[in-house]
Structure formats: structure tokens, C-alpha cells
Structure 1
Amino acid sequence: MEVNQSERAFLAWPILIGSAKKGETITYKELGDKIGIHHRTVRYVLGLIQDYCMEEKLPPLTILIVNQSGKPGGGFIAWDVDNYDEGFNKVIEYNWDIIENPFSYASNGEQYGQLISALIQKPEEAEDVYTKVKTRGIAQTMFRDALLKTYKNKCAFTKLSFTSGLQAAHIIPWSKSSKAERMDIRNGILLNSFHHSLFDQGMITITNDYKMVFYDPEMQEGSYSEYDKLLTINLHLKEINLPKNKEHWPLAKYINKHHELHEWNEYLPNK
């Protein structure tokens, strides 16, 4: 049976908040005992909480969990342990009451993997998942994980497969998307971090027949190095790597909105 680490994180969150309010640390064993798991598996739970705090740019809450030496374990990366006191003070001074438990979606035992599957199997019902998750950091992580699955861990432009370098790009930006659009994998495209940045800036886009378009194919905006050309001009009008299932391909309405937002329409091929 799959272990529901999200549910465990839901249970651990208020315990850590309680420790923060008291200005106290808590050991791995103490936390494990409180949520009913062995202390050696606590690190998996802390990983979820740590990732959330880093994504949301919150104080490093997991700095409160310490080993016998009185310091966080090796998996703690949210703060420089050489400046432990500074990180600890940020945590205990923060008003955690303004933050809802980010793992409340798992309070009834629903598993993270089930929600990912729902995004893939029924993308038209993405708003239901967003309503359960509520938190931007968790929602965006889920969105990326769903795109990793549908794109088989390969960048849509380069087929780069280093997953640590792959990001979930929203076609309609998060800030301009509805709740449903924010989690709809058809409003997403899996890109490496470089192309994600250019895509968000409108320097590249995709066409309705799924080709990548670069804004300066004639190289009139300045000099380009060979590597610049390799990653931009050389990919101009090349077909992109798409999910096997056509139901997961980017929708035309999202692509058209990206064109509109970045004033692409008059510059697209065949326009």
C-alpha cells in the first residue's frame, strides 16, 4: 500500500507550528511519536514541508526538527546551518496563524498521487483538484508532476530529460488564469528553465499546429553566439515534443491567449 506522506505532513504541520509559537525545537523521535511513525521516516514528511516553505518563501519551519546534536539533519537545505540561530529566530518570530495548513487536502486520507492522476485523467475537472489543494506552492508542484508524466520527463522543445532542470510553464500565466486553468495540464507545457523564461517573456511561443516560434528568426535584434542560435533560431518552426495522448496537448484557446498577451498575432507565420 502506498504511504500517504501528505497526510502525515498534514498531521505534522500543527505540531511544528506549536513548537514555533513556544520557541522550542523538537526531535525526530518526538515528532515521529506524535504522528505515529518511526523517527527514521520522518525525513520524508519533512521534505514535503521544507519544499512548501521554500516554494512560498516562508521561514524555514523544518529548522525546528533536530537530531541528538541539536541541529537539523542532513536533508535540511532551507537555511545555512552555520547561521542556525538566525533561521531559528525567523521561524519563531513569524506569524504562522496567517498560514492555513497547506496539506489540508490530505486530511481525509486522499493521496498526492490520486490528485495527480485526476489532473491527467480528467483535465477538464482540474478546478476540483485546485479547490482541494488551495495552496499555490502545492498546486504548482502537482501541476509540474502531472506534466512530467504526460511529457515523459522530456522538454517539449529540446527533449532534455534532466528532470531537475525541467519546469512547468503555464501558457496563460498563473496570475491571469482561472482556478481551472491553473491546474489544467492543457494550459501547460514542460520546458527546460531557459526556454521557460523566454516563453514567459514572450520571446518564444508555440503555434496552433505545435511548432516553436522565436521572435527574431532573422537575427536583427543583435549578435547571437552559436549556442544562442542552437537554442533559439535553430528551433524556429520546429515541431515540439507532445504528450502521446492528444487529450493532453495544449488547447488552441490557451495558445491564442498567449499570442494575445504577448502581441504575437501579426508576427506569426502565415499571418
Structure 2
Amino acid sequence: MNRFQRASQIWAVLAWASTHRQSLTYGQLARVTGAFTGGLGALLEPVQSYCLVHKLPPLTILVVQQESGLPGAGFTGASAGDLATAQAKVFGFDWLEHGNPGAEALEAATKQFPSNG
């Protein structure tokens, strides 16, 4: 499974979590997807880039650090002072209706707008 296929898998997990108004820690996301915790930033970037390019709420805001309950340093989808509002927008958006964009669209968005250094 390549990076963008894994990002598509992560999209599905986060879309489901959003419908239940839940966030996930990096460790939980790694366990659910079988991904390595240390590599999640690179796997979350395509999801974040797609949301930025398509002006969608920042879906990756749902992945948080266990200690702080906040997104990691690579999250650029909202400013630090706007996290609660951004998360509310994610919870209010119908991700299941939007559908999973798929690996190709996530890759294209990442090439168009790299969002994680």
C-alpha cells in the first residue's frame, strides 16, 4: 500500500470518527490502520492538502496528541486560536455524503498544495 492509498484509508477512518464526534490520538490511528505512528504526518498530509485545496473543513484536526489533546506540529488546517471552531466545522460536515476522494485525488492535492513541510 503506497502513501496515498494509506491516506485514503485514513480518510475513511476520520470520516467515520467525525460522524461520531470523536477525535483519535496518533497511537489510536496507527493501531486502527496498521501504520507506523512516527510516519503518520506524511500520511495525514494528503488528507490535509485535499481539504485545503477544496476548501473543506480540516478533517485532520481529529488526530490529536495524547498528552495535549491538540493536533501535532504538522497540522496547518487552522490557527491555534481557531481549533475549536474548526473542529466544530469538521463535526458538522457530512463527510460520508462527500465520499472518499481516493488515492489519486489525494496525491494530486498534495502535489498542488504541499501542506506539511
TM-score for both structures, normalised by structure 1: 0.38
Q: How many residues align?
A: 111
Q: CA deviation at 1:81?
A: 2.0
Deviation at 1:11, TM superposition (A): 1.1
Does the alignment pair 1:33 with 2:31?
yes
Cα root mean square deviation, aligned: 1.9
Q: Which residue of 2 aligns with 1:57?
A: 55
Partner amino acid, structure 2, of 1:97: L
Specify every segment of 5 or more residues in structure 1 that has no aligned partner in the other structure, as ranges. 107-132, 145-271
Alignment pair present for 1:17 and 2:15: yes
Structure 2 match to 1:87: 86
The change in CA–CA distance for 1:44 and 1:86 in structure 2 (over 3 A counts) is same
Relative to structure 1, the CA distance from residue 6 to residue 141 in structure 2 (aligned partners, 3 Å threshold; closer, same or farther) is: closer
User: Does residue 103 of structure 2 align to residue 78 of structure 1?
Assistant: no
**Residues in 1 aligned to 2:109 and 2:69: alpha-carbon distance in whole angstroms:** 33
8 Å CA contact 1:102–1:138 kept in 2: the answer is: no
4+ runs deviating over 6 angstroms: none
1:37 positional shift: 1.6
* TM-superposed deviation, 1:140: 6.2
Instruction: Return the index of the structure with the highest Cα Rg.
Output: 1
Greater RCO between the two (CA within 8 Å, min separation 6)? 2
CA distance in 2, matches of 1:93, 1:20: 8
Q: 1:15 to 1:99 in 2, by over 3 A?
A: same
| Distance in 2 of aligned mates of 1:26 and 1:141 | 23
Which secondary structure does the structure 2 equivalent of 1:50 belong to?
helix
Aligned-pair distance for 1:34? 1.0
Taking the TM superposition and a 5 Å limit, the aligned residue runs for 1:109-120 are none
CA contact (8 A) 1:59 1:90 kept: yes
State the distance in 2 between where 1:100 and 1:36 align: 22
CA distance in 2, matches of 1:5, 1:75: 16
Separation in 2, partners of 1:141, 1:37: 19
Equivalent in 5, 8, 12 of residue 6 of structure 2: 8
Aligned residue for 1:45? 43
Q: TM-score, normalised by structure 2?
A: 0.85
Larger helix share, 1 or 2: 2
1:206-233 per-residue CA deviation (whole Å, 9 max, x = no partner) reads xxxxxxxxxxxxxxxxxxxxxxxxxxxx
Give the distance between the partners of 2:74 and 2:109, measured in 1 at CA. Answer: 22
